[in-house]
Chain A
Amino acid sequence: MDPVTRRSFLIKGSAGAVGAAGLAAGGFALSSIGDTEPALSASELEELDGPVVVQITDPAAGEVAVLFGEREVTFTDKPLVARVLRTAR
């Protein structure tokens, strides 16, 4: 795994963007999660190819792993994890 901050992951363009897209596609109601992030651009959306899987690997620590392509990156975001898990309850 490549440890990264959530911000550094998100600013990588399509990879970060598809993390949020994957969550939405998974059926969660997460409209508030991306409030502080700019919406995906058309070019970023075009770059999406294949699934993105977001796994909460450590709920207590707020650790999240994002699988895309042949890679895996991790970041920590306790508020995000809390909101996701409360939504899933």
Chain B
Amino acid sequence: MSSHREAPGILKDPTADNTDVYAFVTPNNTVTIITNYVPSEAPAGGPNFYEFDDTVTYQINIDNNGNGRPDVTYEFRFETTNTNPNTFLYNTGPIDRLDSPNWNHRQSYTVTRISDGRRRTLARRVPCPPCNIGPRSTPNYSDLADAAIANLDGGGRVFCGQRADCFFADLGSVFDLATLRPFQSLHLIPTANANGVDSLAQANVHTIAIEVPIDHLTRRGRVPTDPMDSKATIGVWGAAYRQKARVRGYDYGSRNVGPWNQVSRLGNPLFNEVIVPLAQKDRWNSVGPDRDSEFAGFVAQPELARLLPVLYPGVFPNLAALTADRADLLAILLTGIPQGLIPGFQNFTGPTQADELRLNVAIPPSSRPNRLGLLGGDLAGFPNGRRVTDDVVTIELRAVAGATYPLVDPNFTPDDAVSVIEDGTFNNPGRVLLDRFPYIGLPYSGYDVPAAS
């Protein structure tokens, strides 16, 4: 998965598990940043439905000077309340508005912007929408979700609540010795080719989304218009923090104490999942991007690039012969792509190696987005930021397989298979994305998923 349950420690702590990060330029000189949490929510998971955690601090971090440390942070703290002490139910009747007296268990949150050591509250006690339960409990769910979009003081909008997971991948196949169903007849252990299966097709997540003016994110509050401007790229990552100690035995279960320690983070999709060795994943989650030079060796010599020629005998001979450090992947994932490699494009942030989702904000949104992003010639797509429609599994799979190595070595020829391999999943037609904030589709309802037979 992109970063769902990607490390031994965080898989036991789903409310703090950052599953995906998206960042893309949106109309009116804004950037939308989305971080998702709580992986693989089963829509019918009641009576205690999924939610954010009051004891977690969630952050969206922006590095605008290339040192791997946050220059601007949007911090989210949640508060959960029960309005009816006499019921076991989430709701005692239809929830037709965000202040419905029928809604027992509800959450709200406060947004704080931190920059230059100063904290400014941008929104206070904003209500989250309820989870999508079903037609009797949450009728007109779209209206409830829309009502939960709030304005931020100083400009911008925010939404926090349940949404449909828009990450797609054939997890069942990929985790079975890197099987790609459409090409599994070529696998070391072959079976007949088949269509991909989207393992997250009907799963929900909890989304934190902001749409903020570009000049709130960039260095010195500029709005760059030249893509070659060295200050046009920002680095984005999500992170979650827990206090150092938890003491059990209080009336309501436990109390937390001490400074906040990072327990989860994510910039580029699949970084911790596929690049970092299992034994170091928890450590990676606990340090900041400014420490990522420690993990650069795993980018330079990615394990997956060595596995593909073994698992698909004879399919990747050129990749098998490629033993040099992967300067292409080091640039894409850790420093950004410098000028001179792709005409009209760069998202280089300097020599500091840091896993950040780098977005050149001077590149406007594409009128015809290509799901393969930069690999498809679309400069507004991953790895220039990440849109909700980008097929990051295919992009990264092909990049690791050698598609991007000619950027740094024009004499290298990718294997023929590189331009066609994929896991066979696409954005599910039933997963409706929005063309407006917060872009991710409405969550699946527990009544409807799984469907009646």
Measuring CB to CB, which residues of chain A are less than 8 angstroms from any residue of chain B? 1, 50-53, 55, 67-72
Question: In whole angstroms, how far apart are the Cα atoms of A1 and B244 in the complex?
Answer: 11
When each residue 224-255 of chain B gets 1 if its CB lies under 8 Å from chain A and 0 otherwise, what string results? 00000000000000000001110100100001
Pairs across A and B, CB under 8 Å, 8 listed: A50-B257, A51-B247, A51-B250, A52-B257, A53-B244, A53-B257, A70-B243, A70-B259
Total A-B pairs, Cβ < 8 A: 32
A53 and B245 contacting across the interface, CB-CB below 8 Å: yes
Question: In whole angstroms, how far apart are the Cα atoms of A26 and B132 in the complex?
Answer: 44
User: Assuming the A-B contacts A67-B245, A70-B243, are A50 and B260 also in contact, with contact meaning beta carbons closer than 8 angstroms in the complex?
Assistant: no
Does B258 belong to the interface (CB within 8 Å)? yes
Closest to B254 in A: A51
A67 and B244 contacting across the interface, CB-CB below 8 Å: yes
Q: How far is the CB of A7 from chain B (nearest CB, A)?
A: 22
B: interface residue count bin:
10 to 19
Closest to A49 in B: B255
Main secondary structure of the interface of A (DSSP, over half): strand
A71 and B258 contacting across the interface, CB-CB below 8 Å: yes
Point out the residues of chain B lying under 8 angstroms from A70, CB to CB.
Answer: 243, 258-260
When each residue 254-275 of chain B gets 1 if its CB lies under 8 Å from chain A and 0 otherwise, what string results? 0101111000000000000000
User: Assuming the A-B contacts A67-B245, A70-B243, A72-B244, are A51 and B255 also in contact, with contact meaning beta carbons closer than 8 angstroms in the complex?
Assistant: yes
Q: How far is the CB of B258 from chain A (nearest CB, A)?
A: 3
Question: In whole angstroms, how far apart are the Cα atoms of A52 and B256 in the complex?
Answer: 9
Point out the residues of chain A lying under 8 angstroms from B257, CB to CB.
Answer: 50-53, 67-69
B255 and A72 contacting across the interface, CB-CB below 8 Å: no
B259 and A53 contacting across the interface, CB-CB below 8 Å: no
B255 and A50 contacting across the interface, CB-CB below 8 Å: yes
Enumerate the 3 nearest inter-chain pairs by beta-carbon distance, A residue then B residue, closest first: A67-B258, A51-B247, A53-B245
Point out the residues of chain A lying under 8 angstroms from B243, CB to CB.
Answer: 70
Measuring CB to CB, which residues of chain B are less than 8 angstroms from any residue of chain A? 243-245, 247, 250, 255, 257-260
Question: In whole angstroms, how far apart are the Cα atoms of A52 and B257 in the complex?
Answer: 7
Question: In whole angstroms, how far apart are the Cα atoms of A70 and B243 in the complex?
Answer: 7
Question: In whole angstroms, how far apart are the Cα atoms of A18 and B257 in the complex?
Answer: 13
Q: How far is the CB of B224 from chain A (nearest CB, A)?
A: 37
Point out the residues of chain A lying under 8 angstroms from B259, CB to CB.
Answer: 1, 67, 70-72
Most chain A Cβ neighbours within 10 Å, of B250, B258, B260: B258
Question: In whole angstroms, how far apart are the Cα atoms of A50 and B255 in the complex?
Answer: 7
Question: In whole angstroms, how far apart are the Cα atoms of A74 and B285 in the complex?
Answer: 25
Question: In whole angstroms, how far apart are the Cα atoms of A51 and B257 in the complex?
Answer: 7
Point out the residues of chain B lying under 8 angstroms from A69, CB to CB.
Answer: 257
Q: How far is the CB of B66 from chain A (nearest CB, A)?
A: 28
Point out the residues of chain A lying under 8 angstroms from B250, CB to CB.
Answer: 51
Question: In whole angstroms, how far apart are the Cα atoms of A71 and B261 in the complex?
Answer: 11
Closest to B260 in A: A70
Q: How far is the CB of B366 from chain A (nearest CB, A)?
A: 43
Q: How far is the CB of A72 from chain B (nearest CB, A)?
A: 5
Q: A53-B247, A70-B260 are in contact. List 18 more A-B contacts (CB 8 A).
A: A50-B255, A50-B257, A51-B245, A51-B247, A51-B257, A52-B257, A53-B245, A53-B257, A53-B258, A55-B245, A67-B245, A67-B258, A67-B259, A70-B243, A71-B258, A72-B244, A72-B258, A72-B259
Closest to A70 in B: B259
Point out the residues of chain B lying under 8 angstroms from A53, CB to CB.
Answer: 244-245, 247, 257-258
Closest to B244 in A: A67
Point out the residues of chain B lying under 8 angstroms from A52, CB to CB.
Answer: 257
Point out the residues of chain A lying under 8 angstroms from B247, CB to CB.
Answer: 51, 53
Point out the residues of chain A lying under 8 angstroms from B260, CB to CB.
Answer: 70
Q: How far is the CB of A1 from chain B (nearest CB, A)?
A: 8
Q: How far is the CB of B392 from chain A (nearest CB, A)?
A: 36
Q: How far is the CB of A17 from chain B (nearest CB, A)?
A: 15
Q: How far is the CB of A5 from chain B (nearest CB, A)?
A: 20
Q: How far is the CB of A23 from chain B (nearest CB, A)?
A: 13
Q: How far is the CB of B443 from chain A (nearest CB, A)?
A: 33
Closest to B245 in A: A53
Q: How far is the CB of A35 from chain B (nearest CB, A)?
A: 27
Question: In whole angstroms, how far apart are the Cα atoms of A6 and B257 in the complex?
Answer: 20
Question: In whole angstroms, how far apart are the Cα atoms of A72 and B243 in the complex?
Answer: 10
